[in-house]
A = this chain, B = another copy of it.
């Protein structure tokens, strides 16, 4: 059992409810890393005896900050068809809503297939140095990161005009990729405003992830995933970012998009 597996543990607390608890190893600026909460929610649905198949899509809205401590995950199957199951999600803490969301679970069925996207042309993970040092955020220590481009920006002086980050990363300590792991990986990029301005107040408001790897493809993954992300527009204190996660075998494992808030005064 890794810290990750401890952190995503849930226990039934009612007909549609699981109780969970934040884990200090996944601390962020305020409360936990959003990715670990996403992972815990996926894990809760998987643990629900009504669930079928595997997650294919997940949208989570961070309606209010989750504080360290206990919280409740309410999951309900809104509709189950032959191959699709739609879930609604609500996370509450101290009687207040902290997250809303929806998930799509699917039974895989063989079909015509085509990978149209191109994996970024980069070298293997071991060709890039491991980022080391002291991280101000605990959750980062759960990943080994090797940046291809767009490393952490620690100050406004290091910021630049392009918000792209491309990096290899793997889970620490090693654990196989599963859907909770992939849900967390969908949030493994910081807000893109950091690349443009350096550290400013920022965080995810809404996140959507599509899991392209079916159960068989996911089980075949190596330790490393290649992630690439870019923001398209920053305005009115909101910025989008769009990411792809690739396997070492060249398969597209997930695509994700999110909207982050940020605080930065208008240009003069």
Q: Does any Cβ of B come within 8 Å of A51's Cβ? A: no
Minimal Cβ-Cβ distance residue in B for A217: B235
Q: Are B61 and A104 in contact (CB under 8 A)?
A: yes
Partner of A102, one of B59, B112, B234: B59
With A and B bound together, what is the CA distance between A255 and B240 in angstroms? 9
- Measured CB to CB, the closest approach of chain B to A217, in angstroms, equals 8
In chain A, positions 111-127 with a C-beta closer than 8 Å to chain B are 111-117
| Contact indicator per residue, chain A 248-268, by CB within 8 Å of chain B (1) or not (0) | 000010010101011111110
Distance A57 CA – B97 CA, assembled complex (angstroms):
18
CB-CB contacts below 8 Å: A67-101 with B: 78-79, 81, 83-84, 86, 88, 90, 96-97, 100-101
List B contacts of A90 (CB < 8 A). 78, 88
From DSSP, what is the main secondary structure of chain A's interface residues? strand
Enumerate the 10 nearest inter-chain pairs by beta-carbon distance, A residue then B residue, closest first.
A112-B264, A117-B232, A63-B79, A111-B237, A113-B235, A59-B59, A63-B86, A208-B208, A114-B234, A108-B236
B240-A242 in contact (CB<8A): no
Interface residues of A in 133-182 (CB under 8 A from B): 161-163
Residues of B within 8 A of A262 (CB): 111-112
- B232 near A109 (CB under 8 angstroms)? no
Asked if B267 and A242 sit within 8 Å, CB to CB, the answer is no
Of residues 226 through 245 on chain A, the ones whose CB sits less than 8 Å from some CB of chain B are 230-238, 240, 242, 244
Knowing A100-B102, A101-B102, A102-B102, the reply to whether A206 touches B57 (Cβ < 8 A) is: yes
In the complex the two chains form, is A259's CB within 8 Å of B104's CB?
A: yes
- In whole angstroms, what is the CA distance A66 to B108 when docked? 24
Interface size class of chain A, counting residues whose CB lies under 8 Å from the partner chain? 35 or more
Q: Which residues of B contact A64 (CB under 8 A)?
A: 79, 81
Given A84-B205, A111-B265, check contact A233 B116 (CB 8 Å): yes
Q: Which residues of B contact A163 (CB under 8 A)?
A: 116
Chain B nearest CB: distance from A135 CB in Å? 26
- CB-CB contacts below 8 Å: A185-235 with B: 196-197, 205-206, 208, 210, 212, 214, 230-235
A265 near B112 with CB under 8 A, answer yes
21 residue pairs from A and B, CB less than 8 Å apart: A56-B238, A57-B206, A59-B208, A61-B78, A78-B100, A104-B259, A106-B236, A106-B238, A111-B266, A112-B264, A113-B267, A114-B196, A115-B232, A115-B234, A116-B161, A116-B163, A212-B232, A212-B233, A212-B238, A214-B236, A255-B257
